[in-house]
Amino acid sequence: MRTIEMNNGVVKLIDQRKLPRQLEIVECRDYRAVARAIKEMTIRGAPAIGAAAAFGLALAARESKAATRDELLRDLDAAAQALRATRPTAVNLAWALDRVMRQARTTDLDTHGLRDFVVAEAQRIADEDVEINRAMARHGAALINDGDTILHHCNTGPLATVDIGTALGCIIEAHRQGKRVHVLVDETRPRLQGARLTAWELMQYGVPMTLIADNAAGYYMRTGRAQKCFVGSDRVAANGDVANKIGTYKVAVVARENGIPFYAVMPTSTIDMNLANGDLIPIEERDAREVTHIEGVPIAPAGVRVGNPAFDVTPHKYVTALVTERGVVRPPFVENLRVILKQ
């Protein structure tokens, strides 16, 4: 199945917290359940939570008891506000909500027709994500040479999207093309998305990989055992600064020091031209228990002070290129992002 899908008024999604030990499907029957799933990282990955937010609005449209169009729009606005508040960094969430609400307001449909329209628009967003990922995979695979070992941080495979994946999708596509690739998978503390999710996905596809501790990445790059770095992104500023899972900045700096290309892969919906630079991107601070506990087991002294930013920002000077569904964007990003977004 896809990471997330909607059938007969129920949104079904893979519980990413349970992998790799258990493949469990969660059913959401109202937008509040979808909001909890996003907040609690039952579903995660910028494109995936964008689709989830859209499906949340679809559920809100179906459950609303509104008798008039204006009442229905008010109910949708309330649901959108709740969904928007779940995670602040990934721009795809707000992008999907804004797209559905903007188009809902511009239609002249009656209440019944508007409900159906919102459901259909959410499905379009999900279907488009799959096609977008296929295009990104082709563009990104062209940057990968036969024999490359690729360092990958966090999780950017099918689980992070509706299907296919972003950065990991490029790697899987290169493998499908017959290129001999090997992936160094950062474990990605504190939630271990690399160890739990990326490793599991690559093993499903038969892509050769080695799981490494985050702190080992520099060792592999300095000793010439990695030829490229591929990561995803949760938001890209207008100047090409990239917000991604915490630890990405460190990978990019070490890659630059060792002359290793660093590629960030994302759909154009992740590019936020309203923000001039990455310093303006809001960074989510998450629960201290993610750092002090692993699988519920404490690993730090009780009462210790904890900082747990979920993301960091990689300045554009460390980014070799951005890979999108419309092609590969190289510096200068300020000019070239504007060009590609007009295509």
First and final C-alpha spacing in the chain: 32
Per the rule left: phi > 0, alpha: psi between -120 and 50, beta: everything else, 319 is beta
Is 234 marked active-site? yes
Where exactly does CATH 1.20.120.420 map onto the chain? Answer: 4-134
Task: Name the one residue in this structure whose structure tokens are 């290793």.
Answer: 260
Where exactly does CATH 3.40.50.10470 map onto the chain? Answer: 138-341
Query: 309, exposed or middle or buried, with CB in 10 Å at 0-12, 13-18, 19+?
Result: exposed
How would CATH label the architecture of 138-341? 3-Layer(aba) Sandwich (3.40)
Task: Give pTM, 2 decimals.
Answer: 0.91
* Backbone angles phi and psi of 215, in degrees to 5: -70, -5
Of the candidates 128, 153, 166, 331, which has an alpha carbon nearest to the alpha carbon of residue 244? Answer: 153
- For residue 99, what is the enclosing H or E element? helix 91-106
Q: Which tokens in the block code for residue 62?
A: 């179906």
Task: Name the one residue in this structure whose structure tokens are 């996905």.
Answer: 201
Query: CA dist 312 to 24, 158, 273, 280, 282, Å?
Result: 30, 22, 18, 12, 10
∠ Cα 10 90 247 (to 5°): 120
Q: How far is CA 37 from the centre of its chain?
A: 15
Cross-strand partners of 229: 151, 262
Query: 227, exposed or middle or buried, with CB in 10 Å at 0-12, 13-18, 19+?
Result: middle
- Its sign, for the CA torsion 61, 67, 70, 74, is negative
Please say whether the beta carbons of 272 and 241 come within 8 A. Answer: no
For domain 4-134, say whether CATH 1.20.120.420 is its number.
Answer: yes
Instruction: Kindly state the DSSP code that residue 214 receives in the 8-state scheme.
Output: G
For residues 132 and 128, what is the distance between their CA atoms, to the nearest angstrom? 6
CA atoms within 13 A on the CB side of 37: 31
Q: Which tokens in the block code for residue 18?
A: 């349970």
Q: Which entry of 186, 234, 241, 272 is annotated as an active-site residue?
A: 234
Instruction: Kindly state the DSSP code that residue 318 receives in the 8-state scheme.
Output: G
Per-residue pLDDT of the chain (343 residues; tens, 9 = 90+): 799 999 999 999 999 999 999 999 999 999 999 999 999 999 999 899 999 999 999 999 999 999 999 999 999 999 999 999 999 887 899 999 999 999 999 998 999 999 999 999 999 999 999 999 999 999 999 999 999 999 999 999 999 999 999 999 999 999 999 999 999 999 999 999 999 999 999 999 999 999 999 999 999 999 999 999 999 999 999 999 999 999 999 999 999 999 999 999 999 999 999 999 999 999 999 999 999 999 899 999 999 999 999 999 999 999 999 999 999 999 999 999 999 999 8
User: Furthest-apart CA pair in the chain: how many Å?
Assistant: 67
